[in-house]
Amino acid sequence: MASNLTIPGTHDLAAWVEQIKLIDTDEPVVGGIDGVSNAQPIQLAKRTQWLKAVIGQVVAAAESVDPATANLDQLLEAINAIIAEALAAGLPADMLRRAVNTPDLAAGYYTTPLALEIVGGVVTPTYIDRNVMTLAVTESITLAAPEIVPAGGGARIIATIDATGNRALTLASAYRVIDGEFDSEAGAVNILDLVFGGPDGVIDVQISQRGEA
């Protein structure tokens, strides 16, 4: 007998379902709202509602930017907050991996350095909108791990020691130096090349210095 059974609103509430159900060989095929045959479409419907809600937040964030001032930092902060909420909700980090494409290049992701700031002796890099960063080292610093570690790829930090010199670098536990040492002498230009994707979020670091002209 034909049926117009559909997924009720109580069963497709927005949620990120980590594991999608598959029917095993020893399970009888049973229909209905709670039947095993319909578990998968219900789980996917929940994911769809979750993604729809996230996209709605992104659109709302974009519409909230004042076009008169073109405050892109405002949009970036809103998107960063959405990403943080997604990670806290259990969304796999791989799904937030940046794709390398023409818009990224046009936005300066690979070509326009981001100037990092020292706050209380700590520098916290961010790889959301740039992967090339500069740093004026005016005191001894600790390089903190980013709040969101990319699933793969790399980045570069160009750290220039001031005229006083004798500036030490301490790396957070997430970093592993595979080669090189930090030069603390006045005027030294240290280049830290970072590679993401290590086990348990480890970030491999190679340190070198810019040669004299």
The DSSP call for residue 212 is P
Beta bridge mates, 192: 157, 207
Banded model confidence at residue 87, pLDDT cuts 50, 70, 90: low
CA 14 to chain centre: 22
Banded model confidence at residue 112, pLDDT cuts 50, 70, 90: confident
Q: Is 190 helix (H, G, I), strand (E, B) or coil?
A: strand
Q: pLDDT tens, 9-50?
A: 777 677 777 777 777 888 888 887 777 777 888 888 887 888
Q: pLDDT tens, 134-181?
A: 999 999 999 998 877 777 778 899 999 999 999 999 999 999 999 999
d(CA 132, CA 17): 35
pTM for this predicted structure: 0.52
Q: pLDDT tens, 51-81?
A: 887 777 777 766 766 665 555 666 667 667 7
Regarding beta strands 154-161 and 189-195, do their DSSP bridges make them parallel or antiparallel, or are they unpaired?
Answer: antiparallel
d(CA 73, CA 79): 10
Question: Could you give the percent of the chain with pLDDT greater than 90?
Answer: 31
- Give 80-136 as a DSSP string: HHHHHHHHHTT--GGGGPPP--HHHHHTTTTTS-EE---BTTEE----SS-SEEEEE
